[in-house]
Amino acid sequence: MNATIVASAAVVLLAASAPAVAQKAWPERPVRLLVAFGAGGSSDTVARTVAQKLAEGIGQPVLVENRSGATGTIAADVVARAAGDGHTLLFTSALSTAAALYPTLPFDWQRDLSAIVQTTAGPQVLYVHPSLPVKTVKDLVAFALKRPGELGYASSGIGSVAHLSGASLGIASGLQLIHVPYKSNGLGTIDVIAGHVPIMFDQLSTAVPHVKAGKVRALAVTSGKRVASLPEVPTMIESGYRDFETTVWHGLMGPGSLQKDVLARINTEVNRVLKLAEVRERLGGLGLEVIGGTPEAFAAEMKRDHAWASRTIKAAGIKAE
């Protein structure tokens, strides 16, 4: 009798758990990956590199969709409102920075979005158009101080890391530079190369080819030490700015309601992709450090970034438009 009761109970438990397992299956259909910035920039490149290998591993297409604007918050808002089944994800950079700029966003970046995994990180390069008669940061500062309000610097948007880096240089040196925001990092780069805007803090991944081709002149990198791809270029610290160290991160996020087992599965799959030799070679060739790791580590990195951005925005008096 007891054996029969136990067996019957086991059958009931299995039957009860079956729908829950089916509900949490991932992926059941193609995954939509919203990239928070435009085509041609490092976010787009990293996203598409990861998406291709992720699709191969999960057996479903990963459809990359560029949804730029408002420093990445437009795409983030879409994902924040999406179902928590893992079929709509966000690939972003500087979201924590944007959150410092836009205190009244329609979503809470920590509550309504889930950190999944940081994919990469990389410094920026401060460069100028070759027509500008400067070869060092010291030269640039001296040149700009004599021309207050005349020189512009490009960025991927108001509140972007490039914008805040330019603002930080202005605060530290007393410069009056004109911020020229673009809808994407790539568009800003194009205009600097064309000579329409003379200065830019560009991401290392997109800057290196243009520096080596002589289309722009690199003055400094924002990492703590020199980078292998531009060994002759000093750091901002070496250039006299002791605390000037900025990093551009990239990472994958989901809705705040993302199911925990689905989040764990995606984290595992992306970490697998990031360990592939061809992926590491591709991203390393762009001057990016492959990160990976846990959701908790990614969330902690974003909190640190948010604190830095908040301080800089307040000091520079930056306002969202």
Q: What are the sequence ranges of the domains in the chain?
A: 25-120+249-316, 124-221
* Residue corresponding to tokens 């920590």: 110
Fold match between domain 25-120+249-316 and domain 124-221: yes
The string of DSSP codes covering 110-156 is TTSEEEEEEEEEE-EEEEE-TTSS-SSHHHHHHHHHTSTTT-EEEES
β partners of residue 62: 31
Phi, psi of 251 (to 5 degrees): -165, 170
Residue 24: band (very low, low, confident or very high) from pLDDT cuts 50, 70, 90 = low
Average pLDDT, integer, range 60-66: 97
Structure-derived torsion over alpha carbons of residues 241, 199, 220, 136, reported in degrees to the nearest 10 = -80
- Report which of 173, 131, 128 is spatially closest to residue 148, judged by C-alpha positions: 173
Exposure letters 76-101 (e unless 16+ CB within 10 A, then b): bbbbbebebbbbbbbbbbbbbbbbbb
Say yes or no to pLDDT of 208 above 60. Answer: yes
Average pLDDT, integer, range 31-49: 91
Contacts of 290 (CB under 8 A, 6+ apart): 119, 120, 274, 279, 280, 283, 284
Residue 37: band (very low, low, confident or very high) from pLDDT cuts 50, 70, 90 = confident
- CATH code 3.40.50.10420 for 124-221: no
d(CA 247, CA 229): 16
Q: Kind and range of the H or E element at 306?
A: helix 295-316
Structure-derived torsion over alpha carbons of residues 210, 275, 300, 120, reported in degrees to the nearest 10 = 10
Instruction: Specify the pTM.
Output: 0.81
d(CA 218, CA 208): 9
Say yes or no to pLDDT of 10 above 50. Answer: no
The domain 25-120+249-316 is placed in CATH, from the list 3.30.2040.10, 3.40.50.12780, 3.40.190.150, 3.40.50.720, at: 3.40.190.150
Residue type, 204: L
Q: Kind and range of the H or E element at 180?
A: strand 178-181
